[in-house]
Amino acid sequence: MSTLAIGIDIGGTGIKGALVDVDAGELVSERFKVPTPEGGEPDAIIAEVVKMLEGMGPKADGVPVGVCFPAIILNGRTMSAANVSKKWVGLDAEAAFERALHRDITFINDADAAAVAEARYGAAKGKSGLVILTTLGTGIGSGLLYNGVLIPNAELGHLVVSGKDAEKRASYSAKEREGLDWKQWARRLQKYYETLDFLFSPDLIIVGGGVSKSYEEFLPLLKLRPPIVPAALRNNAGILGAAAMAVHAR
């Protein structure tokens, strides 16, 4: 069986994709990236994914494709819509992608894909107990692993903390929107991660998303019971996890 697959990671601000060697856990092509179309409507996003695969050329032919998306996904349907159009809610999105791409795909939540990648290749590899991965970006995504097994569709970015939806106050976009410095943002993250610890008692917390490359600016400011570490795969985790799950599904 080929170890090559394509991973596509759709977010509220950008769509990323690459060809992946899932045995090695490495990108083996350039990383393609385009902005998420304004409004995040289904037809526009699907069209961008079609163009991305076409841009990969012949190397994209015949290999498994995994697509990850910021929503609760049940039986191929998007049951929520985080930072994209509400037209996704209830949509048979997996079938819509497959019609447009003329191939079967594996369709999963974006933070779940990142958690799978960290379990296979990164900071959660070989870790027992409960691991919570959070992605800090346009919103807050979350993936739960217990003894390396994914517990899908956790939406811990929507916990109510300090009377508000957590991602409205503690996401990286909230930091940018409100002009918070690292210390101000870390105080909000402290409350958020204390809440996760109280509710779930995790053995490890992993922080991913694009801001994880700057982890030294804010993770040392957090004082928590469980260890909290940056994602090893940084912002490629969604691509790697989606590709890995596409091969596993075959």
What pLDDT digit, counting tens, does each position of 137-183 carry?
888 999 999 999 999 999 999 999 989 999 999 999 999 999 999 99
Query: What integer pLDDT is reported at residue 250 of this predicted model?
Result: 63
- Token look-up 């049940």 returns 74
What pLDDT digit, counting tens, does each position of 32-66 carry?
999 999 999 999 999 999 999 999 999 889 899 99
The CATH number given to whatever domain includes residue 225 is 3.30.420.40
Question: Do 23 and 89 lie in a common domain?
Answer: yes
Determine, yes or no, domain membership for 117. no
Determine, yes or no, domain membership for 120. no
Confidence (pTM): 0.92
Question: Do 100 and 11 lie in a common domain?
Answer: yes
Predicted confidence band of residue 184 (pLDDT cuts 50, 70, 90): very high
- Please count the residues of the chain: 250
Range of the domain at 15: 4-110+237-248
Question: Do 88 and 186 lie in a common domain?
Answer: no
- d(CA 195, CA 245) in angstroms, rounded, equals 30
Question: Do 206 and 242 lie in a common domain?
Answer: no
Predicted confidence band of residue 2 (pLDDT cuts 50, 70, 90): low
Indicate the number of domains in the chain. 2
Q: 145 pairs with which residues across the strands?
A: 131, 150
Question: Do 74 and 21 lie in a common domain?
Answer: yes
